[in-house]
Structure 1
Amino acid sequence: MTSLKNTLPLVMIVAAGTISPFCGKSGNNTPAPPPAADTTRFTNPLLGGSDPWVIQKDNAYYYMHTAGNRISLWKTNKMSSLAMATRKDIFTPATGAPNSANVWAPELHYLDGKWYCYYTAGAGPDVTQRTWVLENSSADPTTGTWTDKGKLFTADSDFWAIDGTVLEHKGKRYFLWSGRPNQAVQNQNIYIAEMANPWTLTGTATVLTKPELTWEVQGGPVNEAPQILQNSSGKVFMVYSASGCWTDDYALGMLTLKDGGNPLVATDWGKGQQPVFVKKPENKAYGPGHNAFFKSKDGKEDWIIYHANNNSGDGCGEKRNVRMQSFTWKADGTPDFGIPVTPGLLVKKPGGE
């Protein structure tokens, strides 16, 4: 929408022999040129989808989201132009296999010189959902061959294991995921375990957070979709989604690892008592969550990418869409995500684009 301060006044004094601007033509009767395209800004949503993930490597961004029956990968040099990127399907599970249904929340990580894709899938009913791993040794994950490395689990995490991600900290590697201890317990907790290699967990899993606060139990007790964020000093945060994704109150919470803390010790993580990113009805943002983080192309800005609904009651389905916005840091070194931006609002592109 054109700003009022840029419109012509309603009343003008026209000098003799001149053409009024309201004629819409120049003095030589040549049609006025169209307004220049805005090359510095973009609008949300980027595209339809849910559970977005993005990773940057070698001047390219690789993007994924939940597809349901396959794993797809987008490659782009500009996140603001994600909608124009070409999609490539990199994995379709065999019909009837234990990972053939409900393919959710894939994440791509570059570990030990290879690409690994962690994703959630099951045999049909939700209770069969587990975490699985794919491997690709190609420099570009949109090329080469993906090898199925099987299921990722420990003896105490082989029930309802979804939304996995990786933490690399002080020379060790850890896997975080959302799980339930057994079928009788509905709580979705967030767990962590050490990794022996990119497709194997070792040791005992630790519960990092349970849904216990009011804003974590709307529609059901849920903590899921853990994501790692570090500030410029190396301080580690774990941002997660809380409450049912089928509600308008799906939101982001945050844990902070104390300086010198052990990621496997739950008491070394401090849990924020308030959410850090919530719905904004006036901005058409309901249920914002299941996020990821990335840096702008020039490396100077931090961005959050997440899904949300435009309308109340749209639920946990195909009406969700993917949005991104920059965020800042508070004086104490913690992130300030602000409020969800309005769809259609012109937003400055990430630096370097």
Structure 2
Amino acid sequence: MLRSLICFLLLMTSVAYGQQTFKNPVLPGGPDPWCVYKDGYYYYMHTMGNRLELWKTKNVAQLKDAPHKTIWTPPASGPYAKNIWAPEIHYLKGKWYVYFAADNGDNQFHRIYALENSSPDPTQGTWEFKGKVTDPEDKWAIDASVFEHHGKLYMIWSGWEGDKNGRQDIYIAAMKDPLTIQGKRVKISTPQYPWETKGDLGDPNLKHIDVNEGPQMLQHKGLLFIIYSGSACWTDDYALGMLVADEKSDLLNPASWKKHDQPVFRQSTENKVYAPGHNSFFTSPDGKEYWILYHANDHPGDGCGGKRSPRIQRFSWNKMGWPVFGTPLKTDTLLQIPRS
């Protein structure tokens, strides 16, 4: 009875103050969620598979009511016509860019491609396809993300060392500009710990895949963190791992990156949240709250498909300046919206 009364009072408070609370997920479905904040708005994307869709909202917690539009549809055939995964929108050097992975219908040909838009508002203007973004080796690549550090751009992504599937590693490369990789790629993480090597397929020709993917940059007080997804997305063991480097180090030197030996965010059977992963980060509009955006499943065995839904929750920092993500929250948890 008391719990029901508390829930009722919280609901009335939410109504009185204009939806100041919310519950996860923020959309019914949406794998590989990403958002960026600029000029009072969040711009959000997730994997649609056959097109690129862009949301615009003042509050990520209210994505369900946010306007969105298709900004690009692929050609019917060709090297980037199918399996359009993990789009990210970035504002770099005065223009908007969307990076995404695509292939011709055969996964072994997945590569990174980019769009460009010079409009101040990325939901307006024209999105122009700019082609493939690759390093000289031009190997299989997905989940590209771009960040700026000390005035220089870098791309991080998940790739194969050779031409055969079996292991996905994390790579980094310097960029000459938002569309051009400068120099060779450098491998900075490979699946090595038990928690990041869960990936049985049940296929006698391909029995196992070890996965590091979905790398995301997080910078805080002199430290650079790459938060990535480990183990296969079709397992409930899909979880987030962490690499850390000093901001003064050479980011293209693998020795600069130290890997945490345990996941920093993983499934919670108690809270009924499974396979949390492929995250991104944002701050509240006032810049004082830190939030993680990730996808997860509601049931064990839901796999790596459309049942994954985007969720957000706050995180904190410990005394060493490292992120503390906690535990994935129950979907019936009532949360305060990001503070404006």
Query: Shared fold by TM > 0.5?
Result: yes
SS of the aligned residue for 2:100 comes to strand
1:149 maps to which of 126, 130, 133: 130
Contact 1:279 1:286 in 2 (8 A): yes
Structure 2 counterpart of 1:340: 328
Provide the rounded CA distance (Å) in 2 between the counterparts of 1:93 and 1:328. Answer: 40
| Post-superposition offset of 1:296 | 0.5
One-letter code of the match for 1:225?
G
Alignment of 1:289-304 (within 5 A): 289-304=277-292
| Post-superposition offset of 1:348 | 1.4
Contact 2:80 2:102 in 1 (8 A): yes
Structure 1 counterpart of 2:30: 49
Provide the rounded CA distance (Å) in 2 between the counterparts of 1:74 and 1:344. Answer: 24
SS of the aligned residue for 2:158 comes to strand
1:122 maps to which of 90, 103, 106: 103
Structure 2 counterpart of 1:186: 166
Unaligned runs of 5+ in 1: 8-33
Contact 2:108 2:165 in 1 (8 A): no
| Post-superposition offset of 1:344 | 2.1
Structure 1 counterpart of 2:265: 277
Provide the rounded CA distance (Å) in 1 between the counterparts of 2:233 and 2:45. Answer: 19
Provide the rounded CA distance (Å) in 2 between the counterparts of 1:293 and 1:6. Answer: 31
Provide the rounded CA distance (Å) in 1 between the counterparts of 2:6 and 2:306. Answer: 39
| Post-superposition offset of 1:97 | 2.0
Structure 2 counterpart of 1:169: 149
One-letter code of the match for 2:326?
G
- The structure-2 alpha-carbon separation of the partners of 1:215 and 1:78, relative to structure 1 and needing over 3 Å to count, comes to same
Structure 2 counterpart of 1:218: 198
One-letter code of the match for 1:324?
I
Alignment of 1:1-353 (within 5 A): 3=3, 35=12, 37-38=14-15, 39-47=19-27, 48-156=29-137, 158-219=138-199, 220-231=209-220, 233-352=221-340
| Post-superposition offset of 1:35 | 4.7
One-letter code of the match for 2:136?
A
| Post-superposition offset of 1:184 | 2.9
| Post-superposition offset of 1:204 | 1.0
C-alpha deviations, 1:97-134, integer Å up to 9, x for none? Answer: 21010000000111110000000000001111100010
- TM-score relative to the length of structure 2: 0.92
- The structure-2 alpha-carbon separation of the partners of 1:215 and 1:55, relative to structure 1 and needing over 3 Å to count, comes to same
Two-structure CA RMSD over aligned residues (Å) = 1.5
Contact 2:271 2:328 in 1 (8 A): yes
- The structure-2 alpha-carbon separation of the partners of 1:3 and 1:96, relative to structure 1 and needing over 3 Å to count, comes to same
SS of the aligned residue for 1:81 comes to helix
| Post-superposition offset of 1:260 | 1.5
Unaligned runs of 5+ in 2: 200-208
- The structure-2 alpha-carbon separation of the partners of 1:138 and 1:341, relative to structure 1 and needing over 3 Å to count, comes to same
Percent of aligned pairs with the same amino acid: 49
Provide the rounded CA distance (Å) in 2 between the counterparts of 1:36 and 1:260. Answer: 47
Q: Which has the larger radius of gyration?
A: 1
C-alpha deviations, 1:200-242, integer Å up to 9, x for none? Answer: 10111100100111011101300000000011x2421110000
SS of the aligned residue for 1:283 comes to coil
| Post-superposition offset of 1:294 | 0.2
| Post-superposition offset of 1:159 | 2.0
| Post-superposition offset of 1:258 | 2.3
Provide the rounded CA distance (Å) in 2 between the counterparts of 1:166 and 1:57. Answer: 16
- The structure-2 alpha-carbon separation of the partners of 1:5 and 1:86, relative to structure 1 and needing over 3 Å to count, comes to closer
| Post-superposition offset of 1:185 | 4.9
Provide the rounded CA distance (Å) in 1 between the counterparts of 2:40 and 2:247. Answer: 32
